[in-house]
Amino acid sequence: MVRRENESLMELEAAGFTNDLAKKIITNQIEARGIMGQNMFGVEEAIMYWGDFTVQQAAPLSKIPFSSATLEKCKETHILVAVFPTSINDIRGKIPFKLFYDKLWSGDELFVNDRGNVSWELVRKTPVENSTKKTWKDQQMIIPNNEKVPTARVMAYVIISHYLATGERLFELSHVRCSDVDQYGSRIYVGGFDKAGLDILGIWDVLSLDDVGVSSVWEY
């Protein structure tokens, strides 16, 4: 464990963090890693795969906004992820091999160019229970307490990041609606992450499909 902490400290300092900030980030992650295990994609991993950031942007990651009790409750069902300000198009451009389905979105679509903000996210690994075969309106009624629907950017980042770090394909046989809509009003949904790549598609809110549920992340 000490060796791991020392390696992490050196990685963060090499990325431009001060010694004090790097130590604070590591200290705040130790307990979370002990609880979440493989279901955590921390700051060091985010730097490794998506390291286009400033130290000022990453500084808020020095504090994990979820209690130990919340992490214990979610350790099997959710992934704790350090999300860097990275758009779907950024992710496409940084991966040297194919991880997205061939469909390309128009450059005018805001949701594929949104870089968002740095944040810790606690993301559900599967569709919300019993959320398939429902319209968007009906799916809103079964979102668990203290959770909300994330953006497609967050879901794509989490799915791809987790795969790069662990080799596990989340949402391989299912899709989940996200909070974004495209320029025509279709709700964006992601999933079907098989060898052909991650699907990012659009669906009308009034439709209900067998393999389309809804995604959720823990609120704070």
Instruction: Please state, for a pLDDT cut of 70, what percent of the chain lies above it.
Output: 94
What is the mean predicted confidence (pLDDT) over 94-102?
A: 79
What is the mean predicted confidence (pLDDT) over 71-98?
A: 91
Is the pTM above the cut of 0.75? yes
pLDDT, the chain, mean:
90
Number of domains the chain contains: 1
Does residue 89 have a pLDDT over 60? Answer: yes
What is the mean predicted confidence (pLDDT) over 138-160?
A: 97
Does residue 1 have a pLDDT over 60? Answer: no
The string of pLDDT tens digits covering residues 19-70 is 887 788 888 899 999 999 999 999 989 988 988 777 777 788 889 999 999 9
The parent domain of residue 201 ranges over 2-218
DSSP annotation string for the chain? -HHHHHHHHHHHHHTT--HHHHHHHHHHHHHHHHHHTTSEE-HHHHHHHH----HHHHGGGGS--S-HHHHHHHTTTEEEEEE-S--HHHHHHH-SS--B-S----TT-HHHH-----EEEEEESSPPTT-TT--HHHHHTTPPTTEE---HHHHHHHHHHHHHHH---TTSS-EEEEEEE-TTSPEEEEEEEETTEEEEEEE-TT---TTEEE--EE--
